[in-house]
Amino acid sequence: MESPQKRTKGECEKIESLDGFCIIRVLSEDTLTKRVSVLGRFEGREGEAVVTAQRRHIARETLPRMLSKETKTTLHFHNDIYTKYDADVPNDLSQVSIDLIYPATQKHIDKATDQKFVMVSETAELYKTVTLPYINNLPQASIQWVYNILEKKAELERLIFEDSDPDIGFMMHPDLKWDQQDLESLYCLVICNRRDVKSIRDLNDSHLPLLLNIRDKGMEMIQTKYGVQAHYLRVFVHYQPSYYHFHVHFVHTAYVGGNGIAVGKAYLLDDIIDNIQNISSDYYAKKTLQCHMGEAHPLLSLLRKTVDNRD
DSSP state of 193: S
**For 208, left (φ over 0), alpha (ψ -120 to 50), or beta?**
alpha
| 3-class SS of residue 275 | helix
Q: How far is CA 169 from the centre of its chain?
A: 21
Would you list the DSSP string of 143-159? Answer: GHHHHHHHTTSS-GGG-
Is 247 one of the catalytic residues? Answer: yes
Neighbours of 60 (CB within 10 A): 9
Those residues whose C-beta lies under 8 Å from the C-beta of residue 136, and which sit 6 or more positions away, are none
Q: Active-site residue among 207, 247, 252, 297?
A: 247
Give residues with Cβ within 8 angstroms of 232, minimum separation 6.
252, 253, 254
Q: Give the active site residues.
A: 247
